[in-house]
Structure 1
Amino acid sequence: MKSFNGTGNYIASKALQLAVNAAIALERPLLIKGEPGTGKTMLAEELALSLGTELIPWHIKSTTKAQQGLYEYDAVSRLRDSQLGDEKVHDISNYIVKGKLWHAFTADQRPVLLIDEIDKADIEFPNDLLLELDKMEFFVYETQEKVVAKQRPIIIITSNNEKELPDAFLRRCFFHYISFPEAEEMKAIVDVHFPNIKQKLLDEALALFFDLREIPGLKKKPSTSELIDWLKLLLAEDIDIDVLQETRTKKVIPPLHGALLKNEQDVHLFEKLAFMHRSHR
């Protein structure tokens, strides 16, 4: 299988490329952590694209149970069909709803299975998947059949660090933390989205963006995805570079700041700091 080097739409650092390829070689799930908006989910999408294989996404919610990833037995539909006298009630397999792991295990070509935001689920969720991810098989009690993986899927697991994951689960994963991009790497990322952006405007916008991220006490630092949104708006509104320069020198709130600051506490904090800066001049 060819190695992953990023794609035309996804700039992957050397460290991330090494982590992806190591996890594939070791046949272990790759656990990806990092700030929201640093491209964790997009990594799985672009990896599947670069390998020319299917992406099977499993987006985890607080109510998600591990069993749903294997299969679910739809007893309600079976009861309804029996009341209607439907013949298919005699075959219980008609009421087995296949989960994402089932689809990944039985795919003809080695797929990429994305288990997205695993830390959103109950603390027992990762442990409940240990056996299946280890053995690459599970048993369907209702039909007495064993589902065995045709080949081990490439598994990408993302976490926003909302809660600690169990040690037994962590031991089975290859781990990588996506560090927030430095200015040069960020320029390369922006170039993918806005290849014709004026260099001076980009330099000024990036300086403003990184200044914002350095403010102590921010509840939510602006992320890569928010920078992309903000730049899109700056270009759409044709904001002049002088406006950005004045924003930096006078420490006033940036134009279209709603794309960068996502709660009122952070807006108030910035306004307070800006006021203090002006008062001391």
Structure 2
Amino acid sequence: MQFTGTDRYVAPPELAVAVNAAVTLERPLLVKGEPGTGKTELARQVAASLGMPIIEWHVKSTTKAQQGLYEYDAVSRLRDSQLGDQRVHEVANYIRKGKLWQAFEADRKTVLLIDEIDKADIEFPNDLLQELDRMEFHVYETGETIRARHRPVVVITSNNEKELPDAFLRRCFFHYIRFPEADTLKTIVELHYPGLKPALLDEALRQFLDLRDVPGLKKKPSTSELLDWLKLLLAEDLDAQDLRRDPGDMLPRLHGALLKNEQDVALFEKLAFMARRQAR
């Protein structure tokens, strides 16, 4: 089967090509892009499109690569030994399977999402090199080797917050999700909000894209924030005329859904002040 997108996810041709190439090569697909451009959702939609279950591993700053394989709970075993529990004689009772182990032992091919890998320590990707390459790892406490029954489709996302090691990059198929163009944005919106009034959609997209083009923004609003904003506009029953602003008013209606820090709000207030002075 080939991934072409779903009825809930618009996949540009170059993204579909990247997904299918990674599946064919049996390489992890490393997806980078702005936060909110649908990287995590891509893995879920690939799973839905290809008819596979998905296993999600959401990486945090404290996450260690070993946790994706397994964890040995020595503290619980010590406590049980003090209580005379017979379970202590079987070390396997204290092995907690990680997300990679779950994907490797699945009885069918799965999609494994490793989400926001750049949040973790720089050594995190290096510590997974062999496991993702050979699709196996050793459990030292039990002496067994866990091998993938079916090689999973691995999707790795990154917000580009830090550089990833070259040795890790060499093992991946890479794709950068560019911010959608206006026509693609329109298709995405119509997918989520069918029947949206054309005039409202055109005006909202114009203001949204104008806002993104303002130089000096600390955080540009993303596709997900556009969808949140439109949801609010619909909830308030606003139309295109309600969105049109005075020349000296730079901030769009309900801008809190689009601008997420005080520096960007202050920037627009400054621009509005300058526009009012020039209009005098």
TM-score (norm 1): 0.98
Instruction: Identify the residue that residue 132 of structure 1 maps to in structure 2.
Output: 131
Instruction: Identify the residue that residue 166 of structure 2 maps to in structure 1.
Output: 167
Instruction: Please identify, of 251-260 and 19-28, the stretch whose mean Cα deviation from structure 2 is larger.
Output: 251-260
Instruction: Identify the residue that residue 271 of structure 2 maps to in structure 1.
Output: 273
Hey, what's the Cα distance between the residues in 1 that align with 2:197 and 2:158? 35
Residue 151 (structure 1) shift:
1.8
Secondary structure of the 2:93 match is helix
Residue 95 (structure 1) shift:
0.3
Instruction: Identify the residue that residue 121 of structure 2 maps to in structure 1.
Output: 122
Secondary structure of the 2:219 match is coil
Pair 1:37 & 2:36 matched: yes
Secondary structure of the 2:244 match is helix
Instruction: Identify the residue that residue 112 of structure 2 maps to in structure 1.
Output: 113
Superposed CA offset, 1:63-93 (max 9, x none): 1000000000000111111111111100000
Hey, what's the Cα distance between the residues in 1 that align with 2:28 and 2:239? 46
The residue identity in structure 2 corresponding to 1:274 is A
Work out the percentage of aligned pairs sharing the same amino acid: 70
Hey, what's the Cα distance between the residues in 2 that align with 1:167 and 1:250? 49
Superposed CA offset, 1:219-255 (max 9, x none): 10000000000000001001231121225x4443111
Instruction: Please identify, of 111-120 and 238-247, the stretch whose mean Cα deviation from structure 2 is larger.
Output: 238-247
The residue identity in structure 2 corresponding to 1:206 is L
Hey, what's the Cα distance between the residues in 1 that align with 2:170 and 2:147? 23
Matches within 5 A, 1:122-271: 122-246=121-245, 249-271=247-269
Instruction: Please identify, of 17-26 and 231-240, the stretch whose mean Cα deviation from structure 2 is larger.
Output: 231-240
Hey, what's the Cα distance between the residues in 2 that align with 1:66 and 1:177? 24
Pair 1:71 & 2:70 matched: yes
Instruction: Identify the residue that residue 46 of structure 1 maps to in structure 2.
Output: 45
Instruction: Identify the residue that residue 83 of structure 1 maps to in structure 2.
Output: 82
Instruction: Identify the residue that residue 92 of structure 1 maps to in structure 2.
Output: 91
Residue 185 (structure 1) shift:
0.1
The residue identity in structure 2 corresponding to 1:213 is R
> How many residues align structurally?
279
Question: Which ranges of structure 1 fall in alignment gaps of 5 or more residues?
Answer: none
Secondary structure of the 1:115 match is strand
Secondary structure of the 1:246 match is coil
The residue identity in structure 2 corresponding to 1:195 is P
The residue identity in structure 2 corresponding to 1:264 is E
Superposed CA offset, 1:141-182 (max 9, x none): 000000011121000000000000000000000000000000
Question: Which ranges of structure 2 fall in alignment gaps of 5 or more residues?
Answer: none
TM-score (norm 2): 0.98
Hey, what's the Cα distance between the residues in 2 that align with 1:37 and 1:246? 26
Superposed CA offset, 1:84-129 (max 9, x none): 1111100000000000000111111110000000000000000000
Hey, what's the Cα distance between the residues in 1 that align with 2:239 and 2:28? 46
Secondary structure of the 2:137 match is strand
Residue 51 (structure 1) shift:
1.3
Secondary structure of the 1:12 match is coil
Hey, what's the Cα distance between the residues in 2 that align with 1:273 and 1:267? 10
Secondary structure of the 1:216 match is coil
Matches within 5 A, 1:19-34: 19-34=18-33
Secondary structure of the 1:78 match is helix
2:245 and 2:252 in contact (8 A); partners too: no
Which aligned segments of 4 or more residues in structure 1 are displaced greater than 6 angstroms?
A: none
